[in-house]
């Protein structure tokens, strides 16, 4: 049953007086397009949070990926290794450049690329790899970067879902040459739509800024030495980001708490469900709380049951190589990707959720899974 009036939403951005104050300043100053002080402020503050020197704000996360690939010179004849277990934008951005996405399997313990899944796919045509920090879970960036250096590959982190996640205390977005974030409404911090490329390379940052703004020479107005794009972020959107950023770590901790409570509250289901471990040395941003079913046969019925109870949920991504634009593109079996994509359910994960909300969600989950209220007296009384 389709339900557009969920009581418990999958994502629900926190917007308040701080955001309103900065938006009002934009309007009062008449700076509502891409010119305005909040764009540079957001770039500086967000890149600093990633331990990167430069930030280039863009219209959305897909633009960030495309801009990174174009800036690094990827094009026809080149191959870029990407996970198949990701949002389709990762592969689409590669295709926009004329390069070919090569689909890799994921590590079943992290749902991310690993050295083991990437290395066999490297050919003389391979020019880059895009590790995706899926659902906020960091990839093995030290290992992937080491492999990339050995094989002369570019690394572009797709950190759209992983603001604030860390590997050995180092934030994602600080490992690759150019690293990409999304600020869509369901992300950890939001600008409505919006994205960011961060880098430590001044030349790459300068080239991205030129490409972002129609290829216009920054020192010679309306002189366009190359074909660029209109990928600019507005001052209004950047103002939202500036207001949101100080609360990012607080919201990450709340999301981590929510995930831990799901593990505890669903424990009475025993081995009917399981959760991915947090890899040693990493800290997940827990963008979404993923529950995996041992038996995937009833997943879609469970999603329908949750919807009927006013609870918004969703399946994990389809493998991209199963989608029509990329069907048949995988050059090798991707068993972990294909298996886990059938098992996953994402539950409400936003920071507005309370303990009582989580108990209701878990009770409905257990009842839907078993076809009866098997958690009565368990989750509700935990």
Q: Model confidence over 65-75: pLDDT tens digits? A: 999 999 999 99
Q: How confident is the model at residue 377 (pLDDT cuts 50, 70, 90)?
A: very low
pTM of the model as a whole: 0.94
231/229 Cα distance (integer angstroms): 6
The pLDDT assigned to 3 comes to 59
The pLDDT assigned to 328 comes to 84
Domains of the chain: 17-247 (3.40.640.10), 248-370 (3.90.1150.10)
- Average of pLDDT values for 217-241? 96
Indicate whether 104 pLDDT > 90: yes
pLDDT more than 90, % of the chain: 93
The pLDDT assigned to 326 comes to 97
- Average of pLDDT values for 307-320? 97
Kindly state the tokens that stand for 347.
């539950």
| Average pLDDT of the chain, as a whole number | 95
Q: Residue 15: how many CA atoms within 13 Å on its side-chain side?
A: 18
Look at residues 289, 371, 299, 286 and name the one whose alpha carbon lies nearest to residue 341.
299
The pLDDT assigned to 29 comes to 95
Q: How confident is the model at residue 373 (pLDDT cuts 50, 70, 90)?
A: very low
Residue, of 99 and 4, whose pLDDT is higher? 99
Q: How confident is the model at residue 1 (pLDDT cuts 50, 70, 90)?
A: very low
pLDDT in tens, 260-289: 999 999 999 999 999 999 999 999 999 999
Indicate whether 121 pLDDT > 70: yes
The pLDDT assigned to 375 comes to 41
The pLDDT assigned to 2 comes to 54
The radius of gyration of the chain's CA atoms, rounded to the nearest angstrom, is 21
The pLDDT assigned to 371 comes to 72
């Amino acid at each position: 049953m389709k339900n557009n009036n969920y009581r418990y939403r999958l994502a629900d951005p926190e917007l308040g007086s701080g955001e309103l104050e900065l938006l009002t300043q934009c309007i009062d100053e008449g700076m509502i397009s891409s010119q305005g002080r909040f764009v540079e402020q957001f770039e500086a503050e967000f890149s600093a949070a990633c331990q990167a020197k430069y930030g280039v704000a863009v219209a959305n996360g897909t633009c960030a990926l495309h801009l990174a690939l174009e800036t690094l010179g990827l094009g026809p004849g080149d191959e870029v290794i990407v996970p198949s277990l990701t949002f389709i934008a990762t592969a689409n951005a590669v295709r926009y450049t004329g390069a070919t996405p090569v689909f890799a399997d994921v590590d079943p313990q992290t749902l991310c690329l690993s050295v083991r899944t990437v290395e066999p796919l490297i050919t003389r045509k391979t020019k880059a790899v895009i590790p995706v920090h899926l659902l906020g879970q960091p990839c093995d960036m030290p290992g992937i970067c080491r492999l990339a250096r050995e094989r002369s590959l570019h690394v572009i982190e797709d950190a759209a879902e992983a603001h604030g996640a860390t590997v050995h205390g180092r934030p994602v977005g600080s490992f690759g040459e150019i690293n990409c974030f999304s600020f869509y409404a369901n992300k950890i911090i939001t600008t409505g739509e919006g994205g960011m490329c961060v880098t430590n390379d001044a030349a790459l940052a300068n080239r991205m800024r030129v490409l972002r703004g129609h290829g216009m020479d920054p020192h010679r107005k309306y002189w366009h030495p190359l074909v660029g794009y209109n990928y600019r972020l507005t001052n209004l959107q950047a103002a939202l980001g500036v207001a949101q950023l100080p609360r990012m770590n607080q919201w990450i901790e709340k999301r981590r708490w929510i995930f831990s409570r799901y593990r505890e509250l669903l424990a009475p289901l025993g081995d009917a469900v399981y959760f991915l471990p947090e890899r040693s040395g990493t800290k997940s941003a827990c963008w979404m709380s993923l529950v995996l079913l041992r038996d995937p046969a009833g997943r879609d019925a469970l999603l329908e049951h949750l919807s009927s109870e006013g609870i918004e949920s969703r399946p994990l991504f389809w493998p991209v190589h199963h989608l029509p634009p990329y069907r048949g593109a995988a050059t090798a079996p991707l068993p972990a990707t294909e298996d886990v994509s059938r098992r996953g359910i994402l539950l409400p994960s936003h920071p507005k959720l309370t303990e009582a909300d989580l108990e209701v969600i878990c009770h409905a989950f257990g009842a839907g899974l078993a076809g009866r209220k098997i958690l009565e007296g368990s989750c509700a009384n935990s």
